[in-house]
Amino acid sequence: MVKETEPSIPERAFILQALKEGYRLDCRNKLEFRNIDIKLGREFGHAEVQLGSTRVFAKVSCEVTRPYEGRPTEGILVLNTEMSPMAVPSLEPGRPSEDEVLASRIIEKALKRSNAIDTEGLCIVAGEKVWTIRIDIHFLDHDGNVVDAACIAALTALSHFRRPDVTVAGTDVTIHSLKSRNPVPLSIHHMPICVTFAFFDNGNLFVVDPLHREEQVREGDMTLTINKHREICAISKAGGIPLELETIVECSQIAALKVKDITALIQAALDRDAQERKFGTVS
Amino acid sequence: MSSYVLPGDSIPLNLILLPGEPDPKLILGPGLIRQDEDSAMSTKAGIPHSNETERKWFVESNQRRYVPSAGEDVLGIITAKTSEYYRVDIGAAHAAVLDSLAFEGVTRRSKPNLKVGTLIYAQISEANKDIDAELTCINPATNRADGYGVLDKGYIYMIKCSLGLCRRLRNEEHPIWTRLRQKYKFEVIVAVNGRICLKSNSARATIETIEIANAIKEHDV
Amino acid sequence: MTTDSIRPIDISYNLLSRVDGSAKFSAGNSTVLCSVTGPADVRIRDEKLDKATLDVIVRPAVGVTATKETSLAYMLRTTFETVILLSHHPRTQIQVVAQIISDDGSIISHLINATTMALLDAGIPMKAVVVGVGCLVDDKGKISIDPTADEVEKAVSTHNFAFDSVSLAVLYSESTGVFTEEQYFQCFEACKSCAEQLHNTIRKSVQARIDYENPQQ
């Protein structure tokens, strides 16, 4: 448990002055994302995403369970996000910080509440057996904007995931092993992607994909969850300085463009993996 | 001697005893503990350095966490204050203590009132693993400030890097400084606790400082 | 199929920005990422006046930290407490977080190896390097070193050892299944010789890193 020291007064002033002059600490444009690197594992449903030096690892797994009483024909989506002192050394394990709870809520809204995953397709026997899909999101390194990185990692892992095939004959359910029968991908309706903005100088200045240093001096933040069809799935602005309506509209226009690029990156990573599997370069 | 060691490796000391000196004094710095009469054992992975005439040995590792040692220059941030002293974060396990009178020309009446968050350049006056380190902003050799004190003039940016890189960068002849000086005009303080303060006075101060900072960070692997 | 050596090893250091040391250790498809913070501030209730407190957290790839991970963390802590020079940093905490990225067998030994690498990267003072090696005995009495998850399923007994690199003495030994005394010592010898090889691999990885950082030397 390390006490974290806030940036000193001169550093704060420096970061803000640089932003006012239009410069960021990593020489990035205000509306530019850091380099996004997506790596897929040998196992299905394993994705590691690096956003600059922010790192997130998502792992999707499944098991057969009983459905919820009220929803007998729907599969279950379980999301687990926990930050450890590996990403933020000042965290005390088992006691989530406010930021962590907020981040996990935004990710949950993006993945579960926007109906991105077709849960009805996960039903095996109505009222008896359904698939529970579990997404474990591990924050490995927190250099700002973990929400966007986690969202990309989770969506990539979900798209990459394959569940075992099942056959139902009367009341008999056979689950085929991954080797004996081609596994089945999840059916994904759309990919809601998070784009986070940080605001400075009474909302006159904003940047996308803030660094940790920028998050430490920001006055407010907002995360927009949008899919590539330009549909807004969620907007999260938990406090901070009040924003003009125009700013929010402007942000959403920018976010829609970013989402298009990110969706293409995810698709490219998935295509590359599919190619490698086809030609057997993945052992 | 191999060019690097792992924990548990033995390093020969090759002590040259002077006549009439049965128990020679020697200094084993970080990363070394005495093994027997004529050898030391490494406790870190890194490059062993020695100065056999001065009888000093140490291992340079890539540590990032600072362990205070008396006489070293550090950059710190004030985290708390009382009427008698300030608590300063110097990146070590414990916050260091800075007496509010440990500034040049300060008396009980004219004590500075520094805010939490103030950036300080100071020297460690006392360090021991069992007590919190003590700082001073007066150079004990000259009794003057000599550059120590509060850093608040102009736009100052601080970066963090490994202790080894900081130690190397304290050499003004380091190739990176020669290269950067050709392009930029700037002031720099390299402290041994893994922190570097940069300040540029040009019209493009902020962007130039950022560029210098990123050039230094590229060396930190 | 039996194997007499560890799967191909990949080690990378200093991957994480906010901790004091980190390393990723892979052997085949078993991968562990480990971070070390410290010597740093310690909670008052964990403070020891004469030495540092070692805190270990093991995190699984799937699910939350449960009994199995807590017992692995206990194993790592007791193994490393004897090797780290805790008395050099009294009233501090050294925190190790080991994240299992993918588990394809012999994860205990690779947790040990990843922890060693991260401690080396953080410059935590240690008396020796700790190396972990696991093996199994199959139904024909054959020994396989560093088994994969599939191989472990057919094992009659599995054995894990951690060795101190200086004396090659055993720091940790754990066995499950049915085995004879003779088999145990065979496993011990087989793992010990692999530990020596692994120690050399670690030495090379440290050298490669130092050479990379100091191109002029």
Judged against a pLDDT cut of 50, whether residue A178 lies above it is answered with yes
Within 10 angstroms of residue A85's Cβ, the number of other Cβ atoms is: 22
Q: Which residues pair with B39 in a beta bridge?
A: B12, B36
In tens, the pLDDT along C72-112 reads 999 999 999 999 999 999 999 999 999 999 999 999 999 99
CB nearest to A85's CB, from C15, C37, C42: C37
Task: Answer yes or no: do A18 and B206 touch at CB < 8 A.
Answer: yes
Domain-located, residue C64: yes
The string of pLDDT tens digits covering residues A19-57 is 999 999 999 999 999 999 999 999 999 999 999 999 999
pLDDT of residue B110: 87
Residue C13 belongs to some domain of the structure: yes
The pLDDT of residue B2 is 52
Euclidean distance between CA atoms B137 and B156, whole angstroms: 19
**Does C2 fall in a domain?**
no
* C29: in domain: yes
Share of chain C above pLDDT 90, in %: 88
Q: Shortest CB distance from B94 goes to which of C41, C125, C217? A: C41
A207, A220 contact by CB (below 8 A) = no
Q: Distance between CA atoms of A165 and B176, rounded to whole angstroms?
A: 59
CATH number at residue C21: 3.30.230.70
- pLDDT computed for residue A276 by the predictor: 92
- Domains of chain B (ranges plus CATH)? 10-60 (no CATH), 73-150 (2.40.50.140), 156-218 (3.30.1370.10)
- Chains with 3+ CB–CB pairs under 8 A to C are A, B
Residue C3 covered by a domain: no
Average pLDDT over residues B35-47: 90
C55-74 confidence digits (pLDDT tens)? 999 999 999 999 999 999 99
Does residue B200 register a pLDDT over 90? no
Share of chain A above pLDDT 70, in %: 99
Query: Does residue A153 contact residue A49 with C-beta atoms inside 8 Å?
Result: yes
**B140 prior amide bond cis, ω within 30:** no
Q: Which one of C7, C18, C150 would you mutate to disrupt binding with A, by most A Cβ within 10 Å of its Cβ?
A: C18
Nearest chain A residue to C44 by CA distance is: A1
Q: Rounded CA gap, B109 and B120, in Å?
A: 21
pLDDT: which is higher, A162 or C38: A162
Contact C99, C56 (CB under 8 A): no
* Residue A35 neighbours by CB under 8 Å, 6+ apart: A50, A51, A52
From the CA of A265, how many Å to the nearest CA of chain C?
23
Q: What is the pLDDT of residues B123-138, one digit of tens each?
A: 999 999 999 999 999 9
Residue C210: band (very low, low, confident or very high) from pLDDT cuts 50, 70, 90:
confident
Complex ipTM, two decimals? Answer: 0.93
Q: How confident is the model at residue C216 (pLDDT cuts 50, 70, 90)?
A: low
Backbone angles phi, psi at A267, to 5 degrees: -60, -40
SS3 C177: strand
The predicted model gives A275-281 an average pLDDT of 83
pLDDT band at residue A100, thresholds of 50, 70 and 90?
confident
Neighbours of C214 (CB within 10 A): 14
Q: Which domain holds residue C128?
A: 9-213
Q: Map out the domains of chain A with their CATH numbers.
A: 36-278 (3.30.230.70)
What does the pLDDT read at residue C83?
A: 96
pLDDT of residue A179: 86
Residues A100, A89 contacting (CB under 8 angstroms): no
**For range A126-142, the mean pLDDT:** 95
Q: What is the DSSP letter of C79?
A: H
Residue B1: band (very low, low, confident or very high) from pLDDT cuts 50, 70, 90: very low
Q: Is it the case that residue B16 has pLDDT exceeding 80?
A: no
User: How many distinct structural domains can be found in chain C?
Assistant: 1
In this prediction, residue B13 carries a pLDDT of 83
Q: Give the pLDDT confidence of A188-220 residue by residue, as tens digits.
A: 999 999 999 999 999 999 999 999 999 999 999
Residue C80 falls within a domain, yes or no?
A: yes
Nearest CA to CA, how far is A12 from chain B (Å)?
Answer: 9
pLDDT of residue C217: 42
Burial of C64 (0-12, 13-18, 19+ CB in 10 A): exposed
Task: Kindly report whether the global pTM for this prediction surpasses the value 0.90.
Answer: yes
C1 domain residue, yes or no: no
- How far apart (Å, rounded) are the C-alpha atoms in residues B91 and B74? 9
Question: How much is the mean pLDDT over chain A?
Answer: 93
